Amino acid sequence: MPDQQHTLLKARRLIDGTGAPAQEDVAVLIADGVIREVGHRDEIVAPPHAETIDLGERTLMPGIVDAHVHFFGHGTDRPFGGLPGDSRVYRALRVAGEAKRMLEAGITAARCLGSDHIGPSLRDAINDGHVPGPRMVAAGNFISSTAGTFDHLSVPLDFVKTDDLLADGVDGVRDMVRRRIRQGADVIKVGLSRSGVIGDNYQAWGEDPHDQIASYSLEEMQALAQEAHRNKLKVSAHCIGDDAVRLALQTDVDTIEHGYGINDETRRMLVDRNVLVVSTICQLYYHVQGAERFDYPEWARKLFDRHIEAMQADFEKGLAAGVRYALGTDLIGTPTHPQELAAKEFEMAVAWGMDPMQAIVAGTRISAEAMSMDHVIGTVEPGKWADLIAFSGDPLKDITVLQRVEFVMQGGETVVDRRSTGLQ
């Protein structure tokens, strides 16, 4: 149809995100932002008015989907950076910059699992075309029990309450889910584990990943999950340790974040129930990497070292057992955890034993499933939105090429084109 805007992309190689083998000498025909045809370049016939973009020797892939990120909009190198200090206007502008850089690095969709109003507002501003950024699903504020995962034990309770994230009791959690809906959440994020040690320095992580306890009762968590599901929202739960993962499984939580510090029996239950676990390696990796530069105290260095060790051990065991992983980074923002570094998650997943093709599927199709958007994004197939990236090299041989994306398309619009003219 002549009134449609057609684009024909040509590339040396396509990895389509379904797990199918790479295809060579491909073409992708896009009409009005939607993929219409995918195949060998000799077989795809574009209408005469179509714009042709020849990506030369590059590899074409679905845009990266980060299943777990945060847009807080505060400096992550400051203690309690999430507490008021910067104006909300400044924070909003800051996340707009972070989202733009993330998209330009090839992350075309992301699930924001905890911020405050900033997350849903950023999503809306992106959807309305005011600022560039990944397609987003956003949780709004965390939900936590008093003294639970996201409570800050070192500041007065009244102060924490100003953040509207604490909910206790069956009625309390139901009410809180409704407040999240009012805030514009399209997923519910709940903290289910906390340190089992009184006086622990860092409640959300806890000194020992194997010594965590569940921070909600079964009755509370059932009520929370039922209320979310009744409203057609998925539930994502921060879970470290057996107790929390078991509670998540008992209450039909949709995605388990982190999911380590567990025993083999719990791991078997994850496999049997086919529940998605979101990897979140980058959060710990960049804490360990940044400890020197950002002058982390000794106890924090030891804590993150201990956690990444436990996470790696369980990731390897999880792969062997058949746990289903989506890739999510848990990047929390600049300067310690810039969201545009999300492709590092693929490198870490492969370093910890994932097959490169498996990592690509986990960070595209399965991450899209974690976002409940797999019907429209996550693979390069007819009917899907044209969210695509291209880069030099073969990620099946060197997964780090995903960190050097040269071409980004979102909804059929070219966002980034860093191809040097000689290579076209």
Site residues (vs Zn ion, CB under 5 A): 330
> CB of 330: closest distance to Zn ion in angstroms?
4
* Minimum CB–partner distance for residue 297 and Zn ion (Å): 21
Strands (E) located in 267-354:
276-278, 324-326
Determine whether 89 is exposed, middle or buried from the number of CB atoms within 10 Å of its CB (0-12, 13-18, 19+). Answer: exposed
Q: Output the smallest distance, CB 259 to Zn ion, in A.
A: 12
Closest distance to Zn ion from the beta carbon of 114 (Å): 6
Smallest distance, Å, CB 16 to Zn ion? 29
By beta-carbon proximity to Zn ion, the closer residue of 251 and 339 is 339
Residue with tokens 């950023």: 122
Contacts 24+ apart (CB under 8 A), 158-167: 159/83, 162/84, 163/82, 163/83, 163/116, 164/116, 165/141, 167/143, 167/224
Please name the residue that has the structure tokens 């900033």: 118
Strand partners, 27: 10, 39
Instruction: Kindly tell me the sign of the dihedral angle through the C-alpha atoms of 322, 323, 324, 326.
Output: negative
Q: Tell me how far apart the alpha carbons of residues 416 and 424 are, in angstroms, rounded to a whole number.
A: 15
Shortest separation between residue 381's beta carbon and Zn ion, angstroms: 30
Pairing of the two strands 107-112 and 51-54: unpaired
Q: Nearest to Zn ion by Cβ — which residue? A: 330
Cα separation, 409 vs 419, in Å, equals 13
